[in-house]
């Protein structure tokens, strides 16, 4: 679908850490102990902290050669407790935050340092509770997450996301099998992926949430919609089906099928082939191509696409053959991503 995937627990986690480091640079309310002779108990792997009991907090210890490295390691260790590894389309995540105004974009104020992560916000409510250094360039940090407050916040975020999913997928039967329906279910899949991360946090703090549909559930629905939408590709003047095949691959890569009857959408392609100038023993041919994706029901052009190419050879026939090959390459290189971007833009705002 809109591929370009990245692991939320890996790729998007890097962006999350960037937010962590930025917030740490501004300072936190946590206690900073000066180096002391006796090593605090919490700096050991199994050590407890006197102010952050394991009954009330998730805690994770980090270590590094600088304060910043120790804090980054502590947040990283905290995230691993959640055990989340889901896939998300980064473009759709950004669209969700910027256009849909989903729960992931909420500002949550606990009266302490708040870490707003870029991925699933799986560090909302996390803070550095304590630090210590031994005076010999060895630093320790303790990341903490209040369980009760996390349970409340993440439950609310899931509730808001479920409302957004319902709004996206509540379509009349006649509108479901359309580009708009396809995009809505793809978008719902991204929100469901976020919920998987939030549910993992709830499980970690002892408040598990059951019965949530996964992102893959909605992606399968989107694929079923795509397979039910016949798309016509009309290319008068094509040669050996090169242009039609190139456009057809762009649609099939996104799960759609071309041909069939009762076509909801049609791609009308117009090719103009012209001989051009000659240079010495070289003959040139030029192609001007326009392709309009049309909604048959309304007659409106949804996605216009135009380009021209020029190729040369010693003979006119071979120059024309080369210009068709160049046009095929241009379509293969450009049209699929162009179509994918168009479908993403169909995602409704609130």
- What pLDDT score was predicted for residue 45? 75
pLDDT of 6 above 90: no
Q: What is the CA radius of gyration of the chain?
A: 28
**Domains of the chain in sequence order:** 154-227 (no CATH), 230-345 (3.30.160.150)
pLDDT digits (tens, 9 = 90+) for 262-309: 899 999 999 998 877 677 788 888 999 999 999 999 999 999 999 999
Partner residues linked to 311 by β-bridges? 285
The residue ranking higher by pLDDT, 299 or 20, is 299
Backbone angles phi, psi at 44, to 5 degrees: -80, 160
Per residue in 226-236, pLDDT (tens digit) is 999 999 999 99
**pLDDT average, residue stretch 195-222:** 93
Q: pLDDT band at residue 136, thresholds of 50, 70 and 90?
A: confident
Q: How large a percentage of the chain has pLDDT more than 70?
A: 77
What per-residue confidence (pLDDT) applies to 139? Answer: 95
Note whether 192 and 218 are within 8 A (CB): yes
Q: Is the pLDDT of residue 222 over 70?
A: yes
Average pLDDT (322-349) is 90
CA dist., res. 312 & res. 327, Å (int): 14
pLDDT of residue 238: 94
- Residue 260 confidence (pLDDT): 84
**In this model, does residue 143 exceed pLDDT 60?**
yes
Sign (positive/negative) of CA torsion 68, 73, 76, 81?
negative
The pLDDT value given to residue 272: 94
Q: Is the pLDDT of residue 20 over 60?
A: no
CA neighbor of 199 nearest in space, from 116, 85, 75, 82: 82
Strands 31-32 and 126-133: parallel
The predicted-structure confidence for 59-115, as pLDDT tens digits, reads as follows 999 999 999 999 989 988 888 888 765 555 556 656 555 554 444 443 333 322 323
Alpha carbon distance 331, 344 (integer Å)? 19
User: Cβ(251)–Cβ(179) under 8 Å?
Assistant: no
pLDDT computed for residue 265 by the predictor: 97
User: Rounded mean pLDDT of the chain?
Assistant: 80
Write down the pLDDT at residue 90.
56
């Amino acid at each position: 679908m809109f591929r370009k995937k990245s692991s939320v627990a890996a790729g998007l986690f890097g962006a999350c850490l960037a937010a962590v480091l930025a917030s740490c640079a501004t300072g936190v309310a946590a206690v900073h102990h000066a180096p002391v002779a006796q090593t605090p108990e919490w700096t050991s792997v199994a050590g407890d902290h006197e102010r952050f009991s394991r009954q009330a907090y998730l805690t994770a210890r980090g270590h590094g050669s600088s304060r910043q490295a120790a804090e980054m390691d502590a947040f990283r260790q905290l995230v691993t407790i959640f055990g989340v590894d889901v896939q998300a389309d980064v473009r759709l995540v950004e669209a969700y935050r910027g256009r849909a105004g989903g729960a992931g974009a909420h500002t949550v104020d606990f009266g302490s340092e708040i870490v707003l992560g870029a991925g699933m916000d799986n560090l909302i409510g996390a803070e550095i509770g304590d630090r210590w250094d031994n005076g010999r360039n060895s630093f320790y940090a303790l990341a903490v997450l209040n369980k009760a407050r996390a349970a409340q916040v993440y439950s609310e975020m899931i509730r808001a996301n479920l409302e957004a999913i319902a709004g996206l997928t509540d379509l009349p039967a006649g509108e479901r099998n359309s580009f708009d329906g396809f995009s809505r279910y793809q978008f719902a899949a991204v929100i469901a992926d976020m919920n998987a991360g939030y549910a993992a946090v709830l499980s970690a703090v002892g408040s598990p949430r059951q019965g949530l549909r996964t992102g893959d559930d909605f992606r399968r629905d989107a694929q079923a919609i795509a397979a039910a939408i016949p798309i016509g590709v009309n290319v008068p003047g094509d040669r050996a089906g090169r242009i039609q095949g190139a456009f057809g691959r762009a649609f099939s890569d996104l799960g759609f099928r071309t041909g069939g009857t009762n076509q909801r959408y049609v791609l009308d392609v117009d090719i103009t082939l012209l001989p051009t100038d000659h240079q010495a023993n070289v003959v040139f041919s030029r192609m001007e191509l326009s392709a309009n994706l049309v909604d048959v029901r309304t007659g409106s052009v949804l996605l216009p696409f135009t380009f021209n190419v020029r190729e040369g050879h010693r003979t006119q026939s071979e120059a024309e053959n080369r210009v068709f090959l160049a046009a095929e390459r241009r379509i293969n290189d450009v049209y699929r991503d162009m179509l994918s971007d168009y479908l993403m833009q169909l995602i409704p705002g609130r």
